Amino acid sequence: MTRTLLLHAGMPKTGTTSIQNACHAVRGELLAMDRLLYLGVAANHTNPMCTLFMDDPSRHIANRMAGIRSKADVEALQKKYRDNILRELEQDNWDRVMVSAEGLSNLSREELESLRVWFSDYVDEIDVLYYIREPVAYTTSVAQQLLKGGDTLAQLYKKIQLPNFIGRIGNAIATFGVPNVRVRDFGAAVKVEGGLVADFCLQMDMSEEAAATILAASSFDNEALSMEGAEMLSSLNSLRPLFDETGRRPNRTGKETLAFEQLGGNKFLLPLEVRREIHAGTREDVDWINRTFGLDLFQTPEPAEKDGELSKDKQRDAADTTILLISDLLNTIEALKFCLMARDFESMGKLEQMKRQLEHAKLKAPDDRRVLTEVERFERMFRDKVA
């Protein structure tokens, strides 16, 4: 029986998270229905693949965030990933194995070759799929992701991130061969009945039963930043950078983006001159994609839409949301202080005072899961005492 590696290599910002989460959630069913092994090491295989096959895995953003810098740390993480993957690859219950990792689109030709050689011990064929977006839409989405990774808007406008089809997909062609590399228009895929995830199942030649199972498990999380959220995050990255020469700075959690994603406001839009620069700088890329794969994609005119005035109503929405987030944060801090006081009263045997502090905590932040979890923990520990 021929064994095949299905390599979903991105590109970034093409709905990969929705695909990955759905496939990972029903990986047991996929194995039973289609003998399709979706590697269980993670939902998104970017971190394992980049850690295993990048020349310098400490450069990978997730490893930087986690403080993986030394050779010993890298090798320990590589061993963890390798052992996990090998446990599944060495089984005889699969015919196709799927790796979904948009980060692979950033690997060099040499790094992709390392991946190809390693997997060739376990598979006979490798089939590579890329979803690609219209360049201006792609760069707009990537800019938001880079903001979340610590960049500022000024940096992004100065060094514009283009899709680089020739470099990225060209590396895959050089490694795996033209017949083994496919591209699919993201814009067309999302219009298929059932959306992107349904299109992905078609591209991967899944059975109807497996496709229905994945679709039932799929969901879409909008992680986009508004214009106001992007500007606030850019300011934070400028005033308090996410990284320094030693790694992630201790006064940044790396989770601030979760708050900025909640802000309402105006749609994030790159300045007109930046959009025009993207358009002009990607004509060769677009021509190459169309020529290489026999397509007719992204033949768009030069952007002409002026930078519109921001809606004051939407700005007010963003301001209101920010005010509420700050209020919620302050309430959470106060509620956690009540929890700490409850702990002190318990240690002194003053159970009535402890109960009052816990009640204050619940009233101060009734919807904060962290506070309620702490209160519930106390009540479980001392249920017979607080009853």
What number of CA atoms fall less than 13 Å from residue 374's CA on the CB side?
Answer: 23
Q: Does domain 4-135+160-217 have CATH number 3.40.50?
A: yes
Chain mean pLDDT for the chain:
92
pLDDT of res. 108:
96
Tokens of 133: 């977006």
Q: Which parts of the chain fold into alpha helices (H)? A: 16-25, 27-34, 46-53, 61-65, 71-89, 109-119, 135-148, 153-158, 165-176, 186-189, 195-203, 208-217, 227-239, 256-260, 272-281, 283-293, 312-347, 351-364, 369-381, 383-386
**Which of 254, 361, 16, 4 is CA-nearest to residue 378?**
361
pLDDT digits (tens, 9 = 90+) for 9-29: 999 999 999 999 999 999 999
> Which sequence spans correspond to the domains of the chain?
4-135+160-217, 312-386
Q: Are 335 and 371 in contact (CB under 8 A)?
A: yes
**Which of 63, 16, 55, 23 is CA-nearest to residue 39?**
23
Distance CA 359, CA 292 (A): 66
Question: For the sheet containing 4-8, what is the strand order?
Answer: 36-38, 96-100, 4-8, 125-132, 181-185
Confidence of residue 160 (pLDDT cuts 50, 70, 90): very high
Distance CA 237, CA 331 (A): 25
Tokens of 352: 């009535």
Judged against a pLDDT cut of 60, whether residue 385 lies above it is answered with no
**Which of 41, 40, 11, 16 is CA-nearest to residue 28?**
40
User: Mean pLDDT across the stretch 171-199?
Assistant: 97
Q: Are 44 and 99 in contact (CB under 8 A)?
A: no
Angle subtended by helix axes 351-364 and 312-347, to nearest 10: 170
Distance CA 374, CA 198 (A): 41
Which helix (H) or strand (E) element contains residue 125? strand 125-132
What number of CA atoms fall less than 13 Å from residue 92's CA on the CB side?
Answer: 1
At 165, which amino acid appears? F
Say what the pTM is.
0.81
pLDDT of res. 124:
97
pLDDT digits (tens, 9 = 90+) for 74-100: 999 999 999 999 999 999 999 999 999
User: Mean pLDDT across the stretch 176-202?
Assistant: 96
pLDDT digits (tens, 9 = 90+) for 225-281: 999 999 999 999 999 999 888 778 888 887 888 888 888 899 999 999 999 999 999
